[in-house]
Amino acid sequence: MIVVCGESLIDLVPVTRGDEPAYVARAGGSSFNVALGLGRLGAPVGFLGRLSSDPFGRMLRRRLLAGGVDCAFVQEGDEPSTLAIVHLEEGSEPVYAFHGEGAADRLLRVEDLPEALPAEVAALHFGSISMVREPGASAFEALMRREHGGRVLSLDPNVRPSLVGERAAYVARLEGWVALADVVKVSQADLAWLYPATAPDVAAADWLARGPGLVVVTRGHDGAFALAASGRVDIAGVAVPVSDTVGAGDAFTSGLLAWLHETGRLDRVRLRAIPADALRTSLVFANRAAAITCTRAGAQPPTRAEMEASGVA
C-alpha cells in the first residue's frame, strides 16, 4: 500500500453563470488529489490526515472512499474544512488564496500519528501545504524522519509562495526533506521560485546528490525530465485541449507512483537501479495522466480504463 499524507480541502473554482462570476466547490488539496489519483489507477492506497466533520469534510471522505482510498488512517475533527479560492488565468499556473486558519486538516499533531504502520505500507507520499502549516507540518516531518530508510518516501513540494514564509528558511527546510526522500517530483516553476539564479537541471542534479534515487521535473506542456543513477531522461509534452491545469501535477505524481508500484520498483534498492528505458516509460505514463486531467475542469485524475483507452497503460 502507498499511504499519502497531508491536506484535504475544498477548491472554490470560478465558473461563469450568466453575467456574473460564480464558484463551484470541488474536493481538492494536493495530497488528497494524489491519493484519489492512485485509487483511480487501481493502486492500493490509503490517506493519512485529518478531515472535518462538516458537510465539506463529509464530501471529501465520500470522494476518497468512492475512489478506492482506504481511510483507516483518517482522523476527524469538529473544526471547519480549509477553503482554497482558485484564480485561473489563461497561460498561467493557477493561483490559490487559502482560508484555513484553525481548519481541521492542518491540526494533526505528532501525538496523533500511528505508533507503527502496517508492514504492507511500502511507501509514503508527502508534500505541498501540509508541510508548511503548523502543527501538521511538524507532525508530517516527524513521520518522514521516523520512516526514512525503512520505506520508500515520495515528496512533491508543490510550492505555494504565499504560505511558505521567508524563502531562504523554507529552502533550507525543504532541502532537509529532499535528503530524506527516495522519489522527488517538482515542477520547473517551483524550481524557478526556489532557485531563481539556477538552471532547473542544475538544481535537480543538486537534489539528486542529496540522496534521492529519482528526481523528476515537470515542465507543463513541454513535458518532463528525470535524473537517476542511470542518467537523464527527457520526454516531450502531450498536446490536448486544455480546460484547466488544476490537479495536473498531482495526477502526474499519482501516475508515477502507480507505475513504480505496478512494476515492482517502489523499493529503495530497485528504485536506485531503474534503467533509462523503464524510467522513460514511467514518465510517459505519468505525463499522460496529467494531460488527461487538463482536459476537464478541476482536479479529475483519470481512471485505469481511461489510461488504457489512451494507449499508454
pLDDT of 167: 93
Which cell numbers in the block locate residue 108? 494533526
The bridge status of strand 9-17 relative to strand 231-235 is unpaired
Mean pLDDT of 145-173: 94
Domain tally for the chain?
Answer: 1
Mean pLDDT (whole number) for 281-286: 96
Q: What is the predicted pLDDT for the residue at 96?
A: 83
pLDDT band at 242 (very low <50, low <70, confident <90, very high): confident
Helix intervals (H) in 24-152: 30-40, 55-66, 136-147
Question: Is the pLDDT reported for residue 94 higher than 80?
Answer: no
Q: Which of 16-20, 52-56, 185-189, 215-219 has the lowest mean pLDDT?
A: 16-20
Alpha-carbon distance values, 303 to 6, 175, 273, 306 (Å): 22, 33, 29, 5
The pLDDT value recorded for residue 313 is 59
pLDDT of residue 90: 66
Q: Mean pLDDT across the stretch 194-200?
A: 96
d(CA 240, CA 293): 10
Q: What is the pLDDT of residue 145?
A: 97
Cα–Cα distance for residue pair 313/310, rounded to 1 Å = 8
Cα 129 from Cα 8, distance rounded (Å): 10
Q: 40: burial class by Cβ within 10 Å (0-12, 13-18, 19+)?
A: buried
Mean pLDDT for the chain? 93
Mean of the pLDDT values across residues 101-113?
95
214 has a pLDDT exceeding 80: yes
Per-residue pLDDT band at 213 (split at 50, 70, 90): very high
Whether residue 215 contacts residue 65, with contact meaning beta carbons closer than 8 Å, is answered with no
CATH number of the CATH domain containing 82 = 3.40.1190.20
| Start-to-end C-alpha separation, the chain | 20
For 157-161, 179-183, 242-246, which range has the lowest pLDDT when averaged over its residues?
242-246
Q: How far is CA 309 from the centre of its chain?
A: 24
Please say if the pLDDT value at position 297 is more than 80.
no
pLDDT of the residue at 103: 95
Sign of the CA dihedral running 250, 251, 256, 260:
positive
Q: Using pLDDT thresholds of 50, 70 and 90, give the confidence band for residue 112.
A: very high
Task: State pLDDT tens for residues 170-183.
Answer: 999 999 999 999 99
User: Residue 95 sits in which domain range?
Assistant: 2-310
Enter the DSSP assignment of 19.
Answer: T
Cell triple for 249 = 501535477
Q: How many CB atoms lie within 10 A of CB 264?
A: 8
Q: Among candidates 20, 9, 44, which has minimal Cα distance to 254?
A: 44
Predicted confidence (pLDDT) at residue 312 exceeds the cutoff of 80:
no
Q: Sorting pLDDT into bands at 50, 70 and 90, what band is 241?
A: confident
**What is the pTM assigned to this prediction?**
0.94
Question: Does residue 91 carry a pLDDT above 70?
Answer: no
Whether the pLDDT of residue 13 is over 90: the answer is: no
How far is the C-alpha of 6 from the C-alpha of 75, rounded, in Å?
12
pLDDT at 19: 81
